[in-house]
Structure 1
Amino acid sequence: MQQLTTKCKKLNTQPVQSATMEFVSTKQPLPQFGQLFTHVDPAVSEIFNLPNPIPFGKKVEFTIFMKYHNGHHCSRGGSQVSVQLESSSGEVTAVQVRDNNDGSYVASFATRNVGKVKVSVSANGQQIKGSPYTVNVTPPDYIKVTKPSKIVNNGGSMVNPYGIVCGKNGVWAVADTTKHCVYVFDGQDNLIKKIGSRGSGVGQFNDPCGVIFDCNDHLYVADYGNHRVQKFDVSSNYMFQYGGGKGSQDGQLNSPRGVTVHDGRLYLADCENCRISVFQIDDPFCCIIGKGKFNSPHDVAVKVNNQLLVVHFGGSCVHTFTLDGYYITKFGTYGSGVGQFSGPGGIVVDLNDFIFIAEYGNNRVSVFNKDGNYIHHFGSCRSNKGQFKWCRGVAISPDHKIYVSGYHGKRVQIFSVN
């Protein structure tokens, strides 16, 4: 031990990044002493088992191994290892990393972006060897969607499920127009609350249709028969209403059906006024979009590229606008063939701009890519699993399950992509 101490004192030491010192046995050049290493070197540290390509939404893991400057594996934990994902749009997401306390670290994630994603790995503030890595994320295989993984009817008390929405942590909500209420379910599809009853007072409904959550988990309900939209907080307390009574003047509504929230604005399918009414979230009426373009618009959604989609029930098509109201294009025609519609109603757009349309007349859900090109449809007119009678609403959960409501079936069917 005295000899080892003497040797250490004679070393020409330099400042190091870590206070941890480790004695590693070696045969050369001093078998009686070995070699003394003082810190890991990110430049020679490596990752293993990072898959490429990565299926969208599937949880993947890879391992990071810390090494010393000469390539020897470190056998201690404690390094500050961080992993980040950067999508093609520039969105950066931190990834969970587990320290195995043996010099290895495990990163796990499920990406929500399709296309090329950069994976950056750093240790003690420095990029490790080869970082950032580029991987390709393949889109969900919607063609495989045929049968539901679960059916929910709330013990038979659900009568006419209409608009449906998925929020955070698996929570989802559906409006029941016959029961004049909104049912809210948890991540295990258990009913956790019922909001509203029939009437025209605060917190009451008359044929509620569209529902949406905002980023603060506030719930907005299109109160069709009361010609307004009501807003509720996370505890289901009434907060505010939009619409100054039935009418066609600015700020008035006539039978609103669909609703969505984006970037501080509320977009409403003002059905009988044949237009989209826009409100500021915390302020009064803002503007009108698409006046003269529609015969009974039923629902609205916003794409990732900030384009507004409007379901034109009477015209059997979907119109696209800028968020400022400038008309861009449309897709779809009347019929039951590929890419055609009969009674399109509900609409939802996933994080990669895949578009889902619930068709009331064709009793199915049709799937399109971001350009409006047909991909797939599922469902038909019957009451068996995977079939619909008067398909009304459609929603996508954060883990990419598809929720579909149907009138005559008195139920919500949940479909899994994988």
Structure 2
Amino acid sequence: MTFTLSYYYSELYPFIIFFIFISNKKGVGVKRSLLLILAAFVVALFVYPTPTHADFKKDFLYKFQSRWSDIVINSTGSRIFIINDSYSRIEEYSSSGVLQAIHGNFGTTSTEFNRPQGLAIDSTDILYVLDTGNNRVIRYTVPLSTVSGTALGVTTTWGAYGTAAGQFNNPTGIATDDTYVYIADTDNNRVQKCTSDGVTCTVWGALGTYNGKFSSPKGITYDDSQAPERVYVTDTGNNRVQWFDTSGTYLGQFGSYGSGTSQFVLPYRAVTDSTGSFIFVLDTLNRVQRLSKTDGVADHTFSLTTSGAGITISPSSVLYITSLPTTYQT
């Protein structure tokens, strides 16, 4: 089991405080106090397991991020996949919330992740993981077995750091329509539409505030409940949601900066319902707003105890929201 470095040596904190108190009280001096503290840490190196470089990078780099990130549910509603970005892995749960398997860990191989942030699953239960820190997409087959530890089968991996089509810079959101994959290429301020194997990618958008432009887009969701089929993008830096047809043609937008109803402060994720009526949007004000897809007017706000990280709707129309340290069902 991996802990943060601060946890490794947390048992020493009372002794360190005691050393400092005694040193000051008896006039031992700063140098001797520092030597005592150093000696305590040297002892700890032998008493407690030493974290590896990967542990250090993983734990310290992500310790202030949400433990759980994006979430998706398979076509039957029997399996829930959640990103645990603290440990760069995918956790697989039953519909009742029982942990079934853990997939991956920190690294760069095809079975490892570096701060994954996005998940998408198609109607045939093909799972896509947006491996953000490695600037790539990993396509998996979802196992039918519920045996704990069952590995996901890697079928395709594509992507690299860069600005060309098929390359990414800190991508955050991913969606699929079963044929294509749509990616919010966050730090490139654009959306990429790729074939499911990543062979061909097209790009739309660029940095800006005009229609069809983006500022750090982070969430993306596909909606086939109305014609034409739509792709909704949470344009985070511009505090709005924009929607497009599947070719990237701009269709509309709603939202503005603010804490009021139908406004956003850095909207992060979004998901549409199966009826074609509503879109649910997470922002950093610890809330989810349900808005009409017709005019962008919110008719309901659901408050969270902490900032939401992921949102999805099950086949039975149950809304799931990941938020540190809880997954909500509404």
1:294 correspondence with 2:214: yes
1:162 correspondence with 2:85: no
Aligned residue runs from structure 1 range 264-343, under 5 A: 264-292=179-207, 293-303=213-223, 304-305=225-226, 306-343=229-266
8 Å contact from structure 1 (residues 395, 402) kept in 2: yes
Cα separation, 2, equivalents of 1:223 and 1:283: 14
Aligned match of 1:212 in 120, 126, 135? 120
Cα separation, 2, equivalents of 1:195 and 1:263: 23
- Residue 283 of structure 1: CA displacement? 4.9
8 Å contact from structure 1 (residues 258, 299) kept in 2: yes
8 Å contact from structure 2 (residues 82, 92) kept in 1: yes
Q: Paired residues, what number?
A: 247
Aligned residue runs from structure 1 range 17-36, under 5 A: none
- Residue 242 of structure 1: CA displacement? 2.6
- Residue 356 of structure 1: CA displacement? 0.7
CA 1:369 to 1:391, structure 2 compared with 1: closer, same or farther past 3 Å?
Answer: same
Aligned residues: percent identity?
30
- In structure 1, the residue matched to 2:308 is 391
Across the aligned residues of Structure 1 and Structure 2, the Cα RMSD in angstroms comes to 1.5
- Residue 263 of structure 1: CA displacement? 4.3
8 Å contact from structure 1 (residues 174, 183) kept in 2: yes
Cα separation, 2, equivalents of 1:242 and 1:191: 29
Cα separation, 1, equivalents of 2:66 and 2:233: 27
Q: Helix, strand or coil for the counterpart of 1:256?
A: coil
Cα separation, 2, equivalents of 1:309 and 1:289: 13
Cα separation, 1, equivalents of 2:71 and 2:316: 16
Cα separation, 2, equivalents of 1:217 and 1:234: 6
Q: Helix, strand or coil for the counterpart of 2:166?
A: coil
Runs of 4 or more off by more than 4 Å in structure 1? none
- In structure 2, the residue matched to 1:242 is 158
- Residue 411 of structure 1: CA displacement? 2.1
Which one has a larger percent helix, Structure 1 or Structure 2? 2
Aligned residue runs from structure 1 range 352-363, under 5 A: 352-353=275-276, 354-359=278-283, 361-363=284-286
Aligned residue runs from structure 1 range 1-400, under 5 A: 160-170=67-77, 171-235=79-143, 236-243=152-159, 245-292=160-207, 293-303=213-223, 304-305=225-226, 306-353=229-276, 354-359=278-283, 361-371=284-294, 372-379=296-303, 387-400=304-317
Tell me the amino acid that sits aligned with residue 366 of structure 1.
Q
CA 1:265 to 1:414, structure 2 compared with 1: closer, same or farther past 3 Å?
Answer: same
8 Å contact from structure 2 (residues 241, 253) kept in 1: yes
- Residue 370 of structure 1: CA displacement? 2.1
Structure 2: 5+ residue stretches without partners? 1-64, 144-151, 208-212
- Residue 251 of structure 1: CA displacement? 1.3
CA 1:282 to 1:229, structure 2 compared with 1: closer, same or farther past 3 Å?
Answer: closer
Q: Deviations over 1:67-112 (max 9, x none)?
A: xxxxxxxxxxxxxxxxxxxxxxxxxxxxxxxxxxxxxxxxxxxxxx
8 Å contact from structure 1 (residues 169, 187) kept in 2: no
Tell me the amino acid that sits aligned with residue 71 of structure 2.
I
Cα separation, 2, equivalents of 1:370 and 1:376: 13
Larger Rg: 1
8 Å contact from structure 1 (residues 160, 177) kept in 2: yes
8 Å contact from structure 1 (residues 230, 242) kept in 2: yes
Structure 1: 5+ residue stretches without partners? 1-157, 380-386
Cα separation, 1, equivalents of 2:198 and 2:259: 42
Which one has a larger percent strand, Structure 1 or Structure 2? 1
Q: Decide which moves more: 170-179 or 267-276.
A: 170-179
